[in-house]
Amino acid sequence: MRVGVPKEIKLQEHRVGLTPEAAREYVAAGHTVLVQTGAGAGIDADDDAYRAAGARIAATADEVFAQSDMIVKVKEPQRGEWSRLREGQILFTYLHLAPDPDQTRGLISSGCTAIAYETVTDRTGALPLLAPMSEVAGRLAIEAAGAALRRHSGGRGLLIGGVPGVPPARIVVIGGGVVGVNAARVAAGLGADIIVLDRSLPRLRYLDDLFGGRVRTRFSTLKAVEDEVLQADAVIGAVLVPGASAPRLVARSTLARMKRGAVLVDVAIDQGGCFETSRPTTHAEPTYEVDGVVHYCVANMPGAVPLTSSYALNNATLPFGLALANRGLRAIVEDPHLAAGLNVHRGRITNRAVAESLAAEYTPVATALAA
Ligand SMILES: NC(=O)c1ccc[n+]([C@@H]2O[C@H](COP(=O)([O-])OP(=O)(O)OC[C@H]3O[C@@H](n4cnc5c(N)ncnc54)[C@H](O)[C@@H]3O)[C@@H](O)[C@H]2O)c1
Tens of pLDDT, residue by residue over 209-264, are 999 999 999 999 999 999 999 999 999 999 988 766 789 999 999 999 999 999 99
Q: Is 48 a catalytic residue?
A: no
For ligand 1, the distance from its centroid to the CA atom of residue 210, given in whole angstroms, is 18
Mean pLDDT of the region 104-122? 96
Task: Summarize pLDDT for 33-52 with one digit per residue, the tens.
Answer: 999 999 999 999 999 999 99
Q: Is the pLDDT of residue 297 over 80?
A: yes
Mean pLDDT of the region 12-33? 97
Q: 292: pLDDT confidence band, cut at 50, 70 and 90?
A: very high
For ligand 1, the distance from its centroid to the CA atom of residue 289, given in whole angstroms, is 23
For ligand 1, the distance from its centroid to the CA atom of residue 175, given in whole angstroms, is 6
**Cβ neighbours, 10 Å, residue 336:** 11
pTM score: 0.93
**What is the identity of the amino acid at 98?**
A
Question: For ligand 1, which residues put their CB under 6 angstroms from it?
Answer: 133-134, 137, 174-180, 197-200, 203, 220, 238-241, 246-247, 249, 267-271, 299-302
H-helix or E-strand spanning residue 172: strand 170-174
pLDDT of 90 reads 98
Residues counted in the chain = 371
Phi, psi of 281 (to 5 degrees): -125, 175
**From the alpha carbon of 176, which atom of ligand 1 is closest?**
39
Q: Average pLDDT, whole number, for the chain? A: 96
Q: Any alpha helices (H) in 111-218, and if so which ranges? A: 131-148, 178-190, 201-211
Q: Which residues contact 296 (CB under 8 A, 6 or more apart)?
A: 144, 145, 148, 263, 264, 265, 266, 281, 286, 287
Q: Is the dihedral of CA 84, 90, 93, 95 positive or negative?
A: positive
CA distance 249 to 246: 9
Residue closest via CA to ligand 1's atom 11 equals: 268
Residue closest via CA to ligand 1's atom 33 equals: 198
Phi, psi of 95 (to 5 degrees): -120, -45
Give the strands of the sheet with 70-72, arranged side by side: 56-58, 32-36, 2-5, 70-72, 90-93, 113-116, 342-345, 348-349
pLDDT of 346 reads 97
pLDDT of 11 reads 84
Residue closest via CA to ligand 1's atom 10 equals: 268
Mean pLDDT of the region 83-102? 93
What distances in angstroms separate CA 256 from CA 198, 229, 369, one per listed residue?
Answer: 24, 11, 56
What distances in angstroms separate CA 268 from CA 2, 87, 278, 366, one per listed residue?
Answer: 37, 36, 10, 34
Q: Which of 47, 198, 233, 270 is catalytic?
A: 270
Task: Reduce the DSSP state of residue 80 to 3 states and report it.
Answer: helix
Mutation probe of ligand 1 site: the residue of 267, 287, 297 with most atoms within 8 A of C-beta: 267
Q: 62: pLDDT confidence band, cut at 50, 70 and 90?
A: very high
For ligand 1, the distance from its centroid to the CA atom of residue 71, given in whole angstroms, is 29
Q: Is 14 a catalytic residue?
A: no
**From the alpha carbon of 180, which atom of ligand 1 is closest?**
16
CA distance 61 to 77: 12
**From the alpha carbon of 267, which atom of ligand 1 is closest?**
1
For ligand 1, the distance from its centroid to the CA atom of residue 297, given in whole angstroms, is 14
Are the beta carbons of 236 and 141 closer than 8 angstroms?
Answer: yes
Buried b (16+ CB within 10 A) or exposed e, 52-91: ebbbbbbeebebbbeebbbbbbbbbbeeebbebbeeebbb
Give the rounded percent of residues in the chain with a pLDDT score beyond 90: 92
CA distance 80 to 103: 11
The top-scoring range by mean pLDDT among 61-75, 93-107, 229-243 is: 61-75
For ligand 1, the distance from its centroid to the CA atom of residue 298, given in whole angstroms, is 15
pLDDT of 243 reads 64
